[in-house]
Amino acid sequence: MLTQLISVEPATGAILWQGEAGDADAAVANARQAWPTWAALPLTKRIEAVRRYSNRIRTQSEQLSELIARETGKPIWESRTEVEAVINKIDISVRAYAERTAQRQLPSQPNMRAAMRHKPHGVLAVLGPYNFPAHLPNGHIVPALIAGNVVVFKPSEKTPAVGAFLVDAFSKSGLPDGVVNILQGGPDVGKALTANDDIDGVLFTGSAQTGVALNRQFASRPDKILALEMGGNNPIIVWDTDDIHSAAVLVVQSAFLSAGQRCSAASRMIVKDELYDRVVKEVKRIADRLIIDEPFSKPAPFMGPVIDNEVADGLTESFLALMTHGGRPIKHMARPLDERPFLTPGIIDVTDMEERPDIELFGPILQVIRVPDFESAIAEANNTRYGLSAALIGGSAKQYDQFWSNSRAGIVNWNKMTVGASSEAPFGGIGLSGNHRPSAFYAADYCAYPVVSMEAEQTRASIGIGLKDED
Ligand code: NAD
């Protein structure tokens, strides 16, 4: 059990933050106490409170960007885009609440009203991942608060400093004590939190392994809301195009942005036989040019390290395992500094592997599969238990229609990256990628439940049929 947390900057090895693991039961009790008052506030007051929070983040945006860059190792330019997403989430969530869960008058008979309104669940546990330590938990917390829930937020044990920063910003924005509670700790603390019967639900972003464990844990608890945003094993198909360079750029961005640590990153490039040599050559040529360096270095890096040495070791072992099971390396994955988790992108042809592992390799590894025809390309794209994002690069409009109809994923793009989804849209997947409770714009849906009421001013009723005459 992790009782003492230490957050180390992946790029430098410097200690960034340390602190004690928290007490889940105390955090839930604190939240429970705050809930009735928060839920009873008028919606406008709750919106005002989250707007104060976003204003505070805006004034501290450079500080938060630097903290994200240091704690995750991602380049400062990318961390700034994450902070932008945090700020933009407030207006988007206000709009989403109005569009998805606002109160509505329904058609009804004379002398009565029929209304639909939404109510909050109560105390929600938010479990965050390390790859977007601010944007993704924020994407659960803000809609949850607007809807009238209170939150116990457990950041990833790998990014406690960013988690603490967010919760501090909430409390300094005048949110009442107990409305957003920080709970630091690792999986054990997460387990203690989700085992507490006084929570009303869990909003989770993380790996399929943890998500499936949570799904099992809550199998006999239909009374708790469970929103699972999990990983992917995402395909990108490269088909006929007269711009091989742009196709390769889209592949490289999809596979290697954030050092491949995006749930929507492309893990598998599926390429038409005749284009194989040209596409692979160009992808490799661009990947060879990527600058991999510390977040603040100049010239600006394309990507930084992965989150820690253990993850880097796991990824290099996975690359070797693909090789020993029949994969043919196109570009070896290297570890330029033994003691730090920088990795160069690895590209490997797995076409001839007898059994390809259908697992998420959460890092800069691109597997390549060559196929003879478009039907085989779609079959390969769907050859996974996951279903988060998928893209077709090139091909005709007709082929895109076919791909769109037959591909199994929550995001299906054409001539665009697999990554970089808009917060204005729902974000989620099928299969092992989610439990049909998409986040982003649709987060409003899992933060409140509908209550339908028939209402009349007077108590007036009669039975018109099936009554005996009175004596
Ligand atoms: P993880 O599953 O290891 O951890 C996520 C969170 O759950 C952490 O806070 C962790 O402490 C906690 N946790 C772990 N085991 C637990 C348990 N048994 N009970 C309760 N809590 C537990 O995920 P990670 O490695 O931090 O994040 C990377 C993963 O997140 C990748 O798989 C990535 O694809 C996924 N992800 C998904 C999305 C999405 O929106 N679908 C977005 C970003 C990342």
Q: pLDDT digits over 42-94, tens only? A: 999 999 999 999 999 999 999 999 999 999 999 999 999 999 999 999 999 99
Q: Could you confirm whether 229 is annotated as catalytic?
A: yes
202 plus 238 within the same structural domain: no
The alpha carbon of 153 and the centre of ligand 1 are apart by a number of angstroms equal to 13
285 plus 301 within the same structural domain: yes
> What's the CATH code of the domain at 48?
3.40.605.10
Question: Quick one: pLDDT at residue 3?
Answer: 86
CB of 11 closer than 8 Å to CB of 304: yes
Within 6 Å (CB) of ligand 1, which residues are found? 127-132, 136, 154, 156-157, 186-187, 190-191, 194, 205-207, 210, 213, 229-232, 263, 360, 362, 439
Coil/strand/helix, residue 392? strand
Give nearest CA residue, ligand 1 atom 4. Answer: 206
For 138-173, write each residue's pLDDT tens digit. 999 999 999 999 999 999 999 999 999 999 999 999
158 plus 285 within the same structural domain: no
189 plus 301 within the same structural domain: no
Handedness of CA 254, 70, 160, 124 (dihedral sign): negative
304 plus 392 within the same structural domain: yes
> What's the CATH code of the domain at 353?
3.40.309.10
The domain containing residue 303 runs over which residues?
Answer: 234-414
Give nearest CA residue, ligand 1 atom 5. Answer: 206
Cα separation, 184 vs 330, in Å, equals 41
Reported for 53-59, long-range contacts at CB under 8 A and 24+ positions apart, including other chains, are: 53/90, 53/169, 53/170, 53/173, 53/175, 54/86, 54/87, 54/89, 54/90, 55/173, 56/169, 56/172, 56/173, 57/83, 57/86, 57/87, 57/169, 58/87
Handedness of CA 286, 301, 65, 71 (dihedral sign): positive
CB of 9 closer than 8 Å to CB of 70: yes
User: Atom of ligand 1 at shortest distance to CA of 229?
Assistant: 41
> How many domains are there within the chain?
2
Asked if pLDDT for residue 403 goes beyond 90, the answer is: yes
Q: Which residues pair with 452 in a beta bridge?
A: 116
Question: Quick one: pLDDT at residue 111?
Answer: 87
Which residue type sits at 187? P
- The answer for residues whose C-beta is within 8 angstroms of residue 317's C-beta and 6 or more apart is none
Q: What angle do CA 185, 188, 190 make, to 5 degrees?
A: 65
Active-site residue (options: 229, 282, 294, 380): 229
269 plus 292 within the same structural domain: yes
In a domain, 423, yes or no: no
147 plus 294 within the same structural domain: no
| Helix (H) or strand (E) run with residue 452 in it | strand 448-455
CB of 24 closer than 8 Å to CB of 196: yes
pTM over 0.75? The answer is: yes
298 plus 269 within the same structural domain: yes
The alpha carbon of 43 and the centre of ligand 1 are apart by a number of angstroms equal to 31
User: Atom of ligand 1 at shortest distance to CA of 194?
Assistant: 20
In a domain, 470, yes or no: no
Cα separation, 186 vs 162, in Å, equals 15
275 plus 188 within the same structural domain: no
**Helix/strand/coil (H, E, C) string of 257-299?**
HHHHCCCCCEEEEEEEHHHHHHHHHHHHHHHHHCCECCCCCCC
